[in-house]
Amino acid sequence: MYRPINHGYIEAVIGPMYSGKSEELIRRLKRAKIAKQNVVVFKPKIDDRYSKEDVVSHSGESIDAIPINKANEIYDYIDNKVQVVGIDEVQFFDEEVVSVAVDLANKGIRVIAAGLDMDFKGEPFGPTPKLLAIAEFVDKIQAVCSVCGQPATRSQRLINGEPARYNDPIIQVGAVESYEARCRKCHVVYK
Ligand code: ADP
Ligand code: ZN
């Protein structure tokens, strides 16, 4: 894969849940470390799925990460030695993550951002659309549809095993919430 060597740039890795975004982010960052590059990784504090200090994929791969609340906290960890910045779950950050990514790339840093392109409704998620527009490289990857086995592009939200409704609140007390990867045909959002 061609990558510039004389300036910074932005790579985006996007897709639904279980598509391997974290896996791919970790793969790229580990290769950068093998190349003796100075790498720093960030994730939003809200995501403590498996570990508070690591980015962890569903398949168990992991890499050290710094949990932050707001995108501009990234600057607290950037000095002139940093060459690569990884950001996981980028959809959960504020819009400022886009200008931070641009600024870092302008400073000569390779920025790799991974996150959901769509929410459970199938609508563009947070800052991801803008990030895609300004990134040099975008990889949109698919999971496997848990209903039919075709490539899955969407995240199905289930509440007590049933497809969630469009207006269902994000946090429901006492309800069991889960997600699975689905294709366009099998993805269900009741209005
Ligand atoms: P993401 O960050 O996109 O949520 P991860 O990188 O954490 O994805 O996990 C990807 C891994 O999840 C796959 O390599 C596979 O082992 C596992 N997996 C579980 N369910 C599925 C599915 N429906 N489609 C694809 N991979 C799945
Ligand atoms: Zn399907």
Q: What is the pTM of this model?
A: 0.93
How would you class 188 by CB atoms within 10 Å of its CB: exposed for 0-12, middle for 13-18, buried for 19 or more?
A: middle
In a domain, residue 170? The reply is no
Nearest ligand to the C-alpha atom of residue 23: 1
pLDDT at 73 exceeding the cut of 60: yes
Residue 168 burial (CB count, 10 A): 17
pLDDT band at 174 (very low <50, low <70, confident <90, very high): confident
Looking up residue 53, the CATH number of its domain turns out to be 3.40.50.300
Provide the edge-to-edge strand list for the sheet that holds 162-163. Answer: 162-163, 154-159, 177-182
Please indicate, yes or no, if residue 147 is contained in any of the structural domains: no
73, 89, 96, 123: the catalytic one is: 89
**Cβ 26 under 6 angstroms from ligand 1:** no
Question: Distance from the CA of 181 to the center of ligand 1, in angstroms?
Answer: 9
**What ipTM goes with this model?**
0.98
- pLDDT tens digits, 80-127: 999 999 999 999 999 999 999 999 999 999 999 999 999 999 999 999
Q: Give the residue numbers spanning the domain of 68.
A: 9-141
Helix (H) or strand (E) holding 91: none
Query: Ligand 1 center to residue 132 CA distance, Å?
Result: 21
Q: Give the chain's domain count.
A: 1
- Does the pLDDT value for residue 138 go beyond 80? yes
96 catalytically annotated: no
